[in-house]
Amino acid sequence: MLFIARLFNMIIRKLLLISVLMGAFIVQSKADWPMLPNGIILNPSDPTQAYSDIAFEGELFDMLEGNLWAWTLSGGVAFAKNRHQLSIDIPIVRSEYPGVENLTGIGDIAFRYHFVAYRSDIQIKTHASSALYLDLSIPTGNTLKGHGAGVPVLMPGLVFAYKPVSQIAIYPEVMYLHSFGEANGDWGGGYPGSIPDNPGTETNKIRLMQVLILFNVEFNEAWLGLAPAYSYSFTSNESTLSIRPEIGKLFGEKVSLKLSGSFFVAGRRRLNSWAYFDIRYYF
């Protein structure tokens, strides 16, 4: 299983590297996104927008000691002209690290409320938007197996979008994680998502801020992105800098596929890398 994890991680790395190198040759391509019946443009690369969808996500957390797999089924419903969205994530987590190996079970179920606070006229080439979201995870995962935090975790966030031209988009995002009590695992190393980077090692309160700026090239219902990401733990007073490449494509105006990752650059190193894929259907 460890060999498969390493192979999966290597393939994701290669695909993302190739996609970033290709970006320089496709900036001139036109970014055409389809329009929903309510007049809202469907752009899966834009994190400020809200859509009705169902998704299957896969993640590999490559830690210094072992790794975690997470498979998540999620669904969301958008309403009020796609200004609001309510969604739920149900993860299945597999632990593979010293002392806790080959254990699979449900993770912490999470709920999200997403509000599109501002949306400019998206019929023109240059537009801007912003959104607020609030995530709440509940401790349904087994902490002894490293499948959950053991306490509820709240994550408010704010994300912006700005497109100076139709092919280029900039998405700054800031989020804050706050646990209601001491959580299972080590949460100070900087990570995407809601799983500790060294589960089962210790308990601490989660007081963590993450800031990232995603730079996208969008073309032919597809996109390539690169984001520097900074994480700071107020609990341990330590920070981490990572880089996150991303590639995605919309197929048939209904299905999107996204590959992403996160690789350590500087700061506190607890997590080697994170590989991620997302298959999403819009309705």
pLDDT digits (tens, 9 = 90+) for 138-154: 999 888 777 888 899 99
Residue 238 is which amino acid? E
Q: What is the pTM of this model?
A: 0.85
Q: Which residues of the chain have pLDDT under 70?
A: 1-31, 98-102, 121-126, 185-202
- The reported pLDDT for the residue numbered 190 is 47
- The reported pLDDT for the residue numbered 23 is 47
Collapsing DSSP states into helix, strand and coil, what is residue 44? coil
- The reported pLDDT for the residue numbered 77 is 98
How far is 130 from 35, CA to CA, in rounded Å? Answer: 19
- The reported pLDDT for the residue numbered 260 is 94
Residues with Cβ within 8 Å of residue 229, at least 6 apart in sequence: 190, 192, 210, 211, 212, 241, 242, 243, 244, 262
Query: Taking the CA of residue 283 as centre, how many other CA atoms within 13 Å lie in the half-sphere pointing to its CB?
Result: 7
- The reported pLDDT for the residue numbered 24 is 46
Residues with Cβ within 8 Å of residue 178, at least 6 apart in sequence: 153, 154, 155, 206, 207
> How would you label 26-37 residue by residue, b for 16+ Cβ within 10 Å and e otherwise?
eeeeebebeebe
State phi, psi for 24 to the nearest 5 degrees.
-65, -20
How far is 142 from 229, CA to CA, in rounded Å? Answer: 29
- Which domains does the chain carry? 2-282 (2.40.160.40)
How far is 231 from 240, CA to CA, in rounded Å? Answer: 5
